Copies of this chain bind each other. A is one copy, B any other.
């Protein structure tokens, strides 16, 4: 079972120069090309036939070597296309362990910590290791400002027009068009435009549950999920989740069988905080499981466009035949966090969600929706996304190296396949709540593990936000954080 397996300990045991089989030698040689950056994530490696000729080894040896590298997490096979370098920080450090299952669903307690972390995230005097807000230099703000100003000047009546619960149609069409490219056939009128992804999650969750119901979520979970669940008087059931391949389906099935689960809420593509992506065949199996137990799933796809691979991960919604997947997302991580414009494609719950949108916030500013629609149509959104992904990947790379340099031995790091977080499991003795206090005294804000669970599962973990460009100040802050961690050991 791929998703319940303890993460592999990578190739640390390989000692160059020792007597090794030919295929391991080839694998090691290719691995070092990846680690030196000659072969970069997303690159296609030579075909088996060509490599066999180049290195003068048999086809079987090449195949074995590629399989080893696949196992080590350096390559991935793509059907009918060959082998590709996998997007990952070039690290040999161990990966975080998967959590234990939870016996019973639990109401979420009010966690003042979340509010506190968010408060500090807004304070520019603190190093933002705890914040999810990407740095403004990553976004085409000037172009967006020009478009916004132009839209307002050309059609000032927009400023007094309420979009009510429908959303601005040309924007919905652009969003639908992009999903089509990502493998999700959607009509524009299946979408509801919302106040960011957060409202989309609220409305969809309210559409499929009533107070007291149980919702299955991943663990660790985005703390916003926990806050929403708490505020709606729902109970959370945390399902062990693999830091590479997402929620464990066997554990999910067991949880559903043993509890009265009413909905599943998850991030199958680029999970926050793990950065995991469920493989396609696993998404297909997840959808079958939902059908088997007749459950709706709320899919948060907000990081989907920040993947490092060549192909955008398909949303779970792509498998949805009967409208049970409520897809939610926004432009908050990719284009205009300050616009707070999101959407949902809530499938069979469309009318209910539309009504809740009207009741909850009535409408979403049309002038912002129109500016986004124009940017998507001819502002070079895809070009921007490519450079954004490159920037995110570079940040992750630098942060991963920095942490491995300054954090203690035995620390485990996730291998995010996109986005801008690394999930860090520190040695068991470390208490990241205490670390947080110490770090704040040095003007460093962090997001401690306790935020990511209703139980105190992750007291030695933290989510490292790699949202700012690498700099000497950032490295100094990482070093300071490392020192504070080591003081606890």
A residues whose Cβ falls under 8 Å from a Cβ of B? 110, 114-115, 118-119, 121-122, 133-134, 136, 139, 141-142, 144-146, 148-150, 152-153, 156-166, 195-196, 198-199, 202, 206, 210-211, 224, 227-228, 230-231, 233, 332, 336-340, 354-356, 358-368
Contact = CB atoms under 8 A, between A and B. Distances in A.
Contact of A162 (B115, B199, B338, B359): B338
Contact of A118 (B139, B206, B358): B358
B133 A156 contact: no
A142 B156 contact: yes
Contact of A157 (B141, B206, B224): B141
Contact of A365 (B110, B228, B338): B338
A152 to B, nearest CB: 4
A366 B368 CA distance: 12
Residue with the greatest number of chain B CB neighbours at <10 A, chosen from A110, A134, A149? A149
Contact of A359 (B149, B159, B231, B339): B231
Given A149-B148, A198-B361, A359-B227, A141 B159 contact: yes
A103 to B, nearest CB: 26
A244 B463 CA distance: 58
A139 to B, nearest CB: 5
Query: 9 closest Cβ contacts across the A-B interface?
Result: A149-B149, A141-B156, A145-B152, A145-B156, A195-B361, A198-B362, A136-B157, A136-B160, A231-B359
A67 B139 CA distance: 67
A20 to B, nearest CB: 50
A359 B162 CA distance: 23
Contact of A122 (B164, B195, B206, B368): B164
A150 B146 CA distance: 10
B360 A339 contact: no
Nearest to A148: B152
Given A121-B164, A160-B134, A165-B118, A196 B363 contact: yes
22 contacts: A110-B355, A118-B165, A122-B164, A122-B166, A133-B160, A133-B161, A139-B159, A139-B160, A141-B159, A145-B152, A146-B153, A148-B149, A148-B159, A149-B149, A195-B340, A195-B364, A196-B362, A202-B359, A202-B361, A230-B359, A361-B361, A365-B368
B196 A361 contact: yes
A160 B372 CA distance: 13
A166 B119 CA distance: 9
Contacts of A368: 365, 368
Given A162-B338, A365-B340, A360 B360 contact: yes
A368 B336 CA distance: 13
Contacts of A161: 133, 136, 337-338
Contact of A355 (B115, B339, B354): B115
A227 to B, nearest CB: 5
Given A115-B355, A337-B162, A367 B148 contact: yes
B364 A340 contact: yes
A336 B202 CA distance: 26
A300 to B, nearest CB: 13
Interface centre among A148, A159, A198 (most CB of B within 10 A): A159
Q: Which of A142, A365, A366 has the most CB of B within 10 A?
A: A365
